[in-house]
Structure 1
Amino acid sequence: MNSFNLSRWQAGLPGFLLPAVLMLLGGCSSVSYYSQLAQGQLQLLHAREPVADVIADSGRDPALRERLTQAQKARDFASEHLHLPDNQSYRLYADIGRPYVVWNVFATGEFSLDPVTHCFPIAGCVAYRGYYNQGAARGEAALQKLDGKDVYVSGVEAYSTLGWFNDPIISSMMNWGSERLMTLIFHELAHQRFYVKDDSEFNESYANFVEQEGTRQWRAARGLPPQTLSESQRRDQFTQLVLDARDRLKLLYAQPLSPELMRERKVGEFARLRADYRQMRDTQWAGDTRYDAWINAPMNNARLLPFGLYDQWVPAFAALFKQVGGDWMAFYQAVEKLGGLPKDERKAALEQLMARA
């Protein structure tokens, strides 16, 4: 993507679908869609090779071999210290020859912030459709636009199959900084450890907490200083700016206005978001332009969907981790207990943990 990486919020789960493809084919569009998912997943599986073989091959790119060597240290740490699954995931490497492994298509109504959802076996309902081919994703986006939808196509560098397959480190992940690559392993293995169907907010907040706490412990174990707060603070400030704009749009769309006036005010809200961003950038961030590309791109409702959806419960999981004395096994047991509650009860329990946090 651009300098603002949203992949951790919107990583797709198309790999889940391979075992169920034959059950789900019904109608030409279903055949086409699920066939491309199956083909894309199979191509990814075929491209895998042991990381150890890549590292041992003196003919391979030295920078790649070094990155993979460091990633394997993080992979060992994940299982040995964070008690995450000890399997072949992220002990394999796949060169896919393209910048993204999948492209996700998000869509909303013209005057709505509710996503068009799509439901799949195991993964449950999600707010996008994933495509292994960029042209196919753009074709889907064009059809949604013809239907009057706001649409956003986002490239994704990695996704998890939640343990159905041994997920590889993918060449599309090599553009990340070294630590981001390593800590993504914590995040994706957390999904393999536990996942609740039809509750993306719970799943991603839990995995994000494991990633954050795992990164803190990883750095401490290696004698590295704690991460500086400036980058995360700016990310949080930017996210809040977008969430504020989304709240204003929700209020706007609830008003009994004509479509013409609604469109005019919608444009005004996006202009306000850009103006608020530039003021924050210039007065508080000393001109840091890392989010310029995202804010200056064409804006619509669908572009706002990922923000805040997948990290809202992170403080609740932090409180839970503290409650069990920082014991990872006790933490996972408590997470599983929460995940087993009915959704309303689970949300109430998370809200109680948020209050303690």
Structure 2
Amino acid sequence: MAGAAGVAGLLALAAGTLCLTSGCSSIGYLSQSVAGHLSVLNSARPVADWLNEPTTAEPVKAKLALTQRIRDFAVSELHLPDNRSYRSYADLHRTAAVWNVAAAPELSLKLQTWCYPVVGCVGYRGYYDEGAANAEGEALRAQGLEVTVYPVPAYSTLGKMEWLGGDPLLNTFIQWHEAELARLIFHELAHQVAYAEGDTAFNESFATAVERLGGDRWLDAHGSDAMRAQVRQVEQRRQGFRQLTQATRAALDALYRSELDESTKRERKAQLMAQMRADHARLKAEAWNGYAGYDAFFSNANNASLSMQGAYLDGVPAFVALFEREGRDFPRFYAAVQRLAALPRAERDAALHNLSPAAEAATSRPLGH
């Protein structure tokens, strides 16, 4: 993901104007972003060095060698940037690259945003220290907002930090199984292809679409029967998760936009959240054979976490449709996405809406149906 902390290099360029535009209180956040990212870069060494180092554990060597094959595939087959990103590796000795904080009102799915010169407005804040992220979360809760604080395994600096070595591979995701590792690398590289300032949903949905399309191609070229079976199982669970959370978000959005009084909205919101958790429990028991990987999400789900999850998924069908329209040709697809990114927000949203399968079905439906 292109997290707020992940654009630390761009934030550094903005330091001189923050006191003029956002108040000097933003400098503290900016400082930890820049220092945190530079610490990550300073921990990174070329993959070749790790492979030649006798003390590097053999499982890590195997994964690093795999990442370089994935990285080459990203260039040759997906036409993603051929640069220094993911050619180095850093062991951060922690479980996440950053911890993101997102917040939303009690009766709205509209995320709190933070705005900076150069990078625009984003719907979350990234911290390199978990304690600092939790403190920010508590401060936002004290304002009456619903908050989610969640670990992020990787982020993108949008290709702007190549002069410092690019974005490194990290211990926070290097041990993932092959298909997921490939998807993550494709996702992060996609952020270097197209970026719409201040439009989290556009940026993340595009990267997620590239992740899925590229992941399918990697699986076709390199997947074993066992890997394909594993991916099918993961995708089955993901699809159930997407359908359930999308339906809940749609119901909540309709509720929040309604003319009902706030007391009634709170009551119906509680019913919708309880129904979502009950549906998850049923999915877990019946379709997922007890898989517990989504337990934490549903236990802590609120407006903020549901909104962030939607940013990654809701626009994906439109981007996949655009890929098909461009003849499944990645360079043409990227060029079309870059044109969309350059449009004013309202025009971009309208274009994506018209690309979505639901919109296409509605326009092609016979009158009277």
TM (normalized to structure 2)? 0.86
CA deviations 1:224-254 (Å, max 9, x no partner) are: 4556534223212212212222233333334
Displacement, 1:260? 5.2
Higher mean displacement: 83-92 or 301-310: 301-310
Q: Distance in 2 between matches of 1:180 and 1:284?
A: 21
Find the counterpart in structure 2 of residue 120 from structure 1.
Answer: 116
Displacement, 1:210? 1.6
Displacement, 1:152? 1.0
Contact 2:14–2:118 (CA under 8 A) maintained in structure 1: no
Displacement, 1:105? 0.9
Residue identity in the other structure for 1:138: N
2:155 aligned to which of 149, 156, 159: 159
Contact 2:5–2:37 (CA under 8 A) maintained in structure 1: no
1:90 aligned to which of 83, 86, 104: 86
Q: Distance in 1 between matches of 2:159 and 2:223?
A: 31
1:253 equivalent in alignment to 2:265: no
Cα–Cα, structure 1 residues 23 and 321, in superposed 2: closer, same or farther, change >3 Å?
same
Find the counterpart in structure 1 of residue 272 from structure 2.
Answer: 269
Find the counterpart in structure 2 of residue 137 from structure 1.
Answer: 133
1:183 equivalent in alignment to 2:196: no
Give the SS at the match of 1:305: helix
Displacement, 1:113? 1.6
Find the counterpart in structure 1 of residue 364 from structure 2.
Answer: none
Contact 1:18–1:41 (CA under 8 A) maintained in structure 2: no
1:78 aligned to which of 58, 74, 77: 74
Q: Distance in 2 between matches of 1:45 and 1:9?
A: 16
Contact 1:36–1:132 (CA under 8 A) maintained in structure 2: yes
1:24 equivalent in alignment to 2:18: yes
Give the SS at the match of 1:106: strand
CA deviations 1:188-225 (Å, max 9, x no partner) are: 11111221212222222222222222122222233645
Contact 2:105–2:144 (CA under 8 A) maintained in structure 1: yes
Displacement, 1:255? 5.0
Q: Distance in 1 between matches of 2:248 and 2:320?
A: 27
Cα–Cα, structure 1 residues 353 and 103, in superposed 2: closer, same or farther, change >3 Å?
same
Q: Distance in 2 between matches of 1:61 and 1:131?
A: 29
Find the counterpart in structure 2 of residue 285 from structure 1.
Answer: 288
Q: How many residues align?
A: 349
1:13 equivalent in alignment to 2:6: yes
Displacement, 1:156? 0.7
Q: Distance in 1 between matches of 2:171 and 2:106?
A: 36
1:314 equivalent in alignment to 2:316: yes
1:216 equivalent in alignment to 2:216: yes
1:330 equivalent in alignment to 2:332: yes
Give the SS at the match of 2:148: strand
Residue identity in the other structure for 2:16: L
Find the counterpart in structure 2 of residue 106 from structure 1.
Answer: 102
Contact 1:11–1:156 (CA under 8 A) maintained in structure 2: no
1:40 equivalent in alignment to 2:36: yes
CA deviations 1:261-307 (Å, max 9, x no partner) are: 544443332222111211233333343333223223x3432221222
Contact 1:9–1:310 (CA under 8 A) maintained in structure 2: no
CA deviations 1:22-49 (Å, max 9, x no partner) are: 3324645212111111111111121111
Cα–Cα, structure 1 residues 158 and 11, in superposed 2: closer, same or farther, change >3 Å?
farther
Cα–Cα, structure 1 residues 190 and 130, in superposed 2: closer, same or farther, change >3 Å?
same
Find the counterpart in structure 2 of residue 302 from structure 1.
Answer: 304
Higher mean displacement: 105-114 or 310-319: 310-319
Residue identity in the other structure for 1:168: P
Residue identity in the other structure for 2:63: R
Contact 1:105–1:154 (CA under 8 A) maintained in structure 2: yes
Q: Distance in 2 between matches of 1:212 and 1:286?
A: 24
Give the SS at the match of 1:295: helix
Give the SS at the match of 1:125: strand
Give the SS at the match of 1:202: helix
Find the counterpart in structure 1 of residue 245 from structure 2.
Answer: 242
Give the SS at the match of 2:101: strand
Give the SS at the match of 2:312: coil
Q: For structure 1, list consecutive stretches of 5 or more residues without a partner in the other structure.
A: 1-7
Give the SS at the match of 2:192: helix
What is the RMSD of the two structures over their aligned residues, measured on CA atoms?
Answer: 2.4
Contact 1:158–1:173 (CA under 8 A) maintained in structure 2: yes
